Chain A
Amino acid sequence: MKNGMKQIKHHLTEPLLVGYAAGTLPEAFNLVVATHITMCDTCRAALAEYEAVGGEVMLSSDPVDVAEDALAATMAMIDDGFEVAPVAPKRRDSASIFPGPLQDYIDGDIDNLKWRKVGGGVSQLVLKTSNDASVRLLRIPAGMAVPDHGHRGTELTLVLQGAFMDEDDRFDAGDVEVANQEMHHTPVAAGGIDCICLAASDAPLRFDGLIPRLAQRFIGI
Chain B
Amino acid sequence: MYNCYYVSTTCVDQKKILLACDPVSDQRRNNFMLTEQSSFAKADAVSFVAPYGAVMKASTRKTGKQTVTAEEASKRMAWVVQINAVRDSKDRQAFAELFGYFAPRVKSFLMKSGASPDLAEECTQEVMATLWNKAHMFDPAKASVSTWIFTIARNRKIDLLRKQRRPEPEELTWGPEAEPDQADAMGLQQETEQLGQALATLPEEQRKLIERAYFGELSHSQIAAETGLPLGTIKSRIRLALDRLRHAMK
Residues of A within 8 A of B (CB): 3-4, 13-16, 18-19, 21-25, 27, 29-31, 33-35, 37-38, 41-42, 44-45, 47-67, 70-71, 73-75, 77-78, 82-84, 87-88, 92, 99-102, 104-105, 129-130, 153-154, 180, 202
Contacting pair A55 B111 (CB below 8 A): no
Contacting pair A99 B170 (CB below 8 A): yes
Q: Which chain B residues lie closer than 8 Å to A3 at the CB level?
A: 172, 249
Q: How far is the CA of A100 from the CA of B170 in the complex (A)?
A: 6
Contacting pair A58 B126 (CB below 8 A): no
* Among all A-B residue pairs, the 9 with the closest Cβ atoms: A63-B104, A55-B146, A15-B223, A100-B170, A55-B150, A55-B147, A24-B216, A56-B196, A15-B220
Q: Which chain A residues lie closer than 8 Å to B150 at the CB level?
A: 51, 54-55, 58
Contacting pair B169 A64 (CB below 8 A): no
Residues of B115-142 whose CB lies within 8 A of A = 117, 120-121, 124-126, 128-130, 132-133, 142
| Contacts A44-B249, A52-B144, A54-B150; A18 near B213 (Cβ below 8 A) | yes
> When the two chains form the complex, which single residue of B129, B153, B223 contacts A19, counting CB atoms closer than 8 Å?
B223
Q: Which chain A residues lie closer than 8 Å to B128 at the CB level?
A: 74
Residues of B within 8 A of A (CB): 92, 95-96, 99-100, 103-109, 111-113, 117, 120-121, 124-126, 128-130, 132-133, 142-144, 146-151, 153-159, 162-170, 172, 192, 195-196, 199-200, 210-211, 213-216, 219-221, 223-224, 228-229, 231, 234-235, 238-239, 242, 245-246, 249-250
Q: Which chain B residues lie closer than 8 Å to A30 at the CB level?
A: 164, 166-167
Give the tally of cross-chain contacts (CB within 8 A).
231
Q: Which chain B residues lie closer than 8 Å to A44 at the CB level?
A: 169, 172, 249
Q: How far is the CA of A102 from the CA of B48 in the complex (A)?
A: 42
> When the two chains form the complex, which single residue of A29, A70, A82 contacts B121, counting CB atoms closer than 8 Å?
A70
Candidate in B109, B112, B144, B250 with the most chain A CB atoms within 10 angstroms: B109
Contacting pair B99 A74 (CB below 8 A): yes
Q: How far is the CA of A218 from the CA of B221 in the complex (A)?
A: 33
Q: Which chain B residues lie closer than 8 Å to A41 at the CB level?
A: 246, 249-250
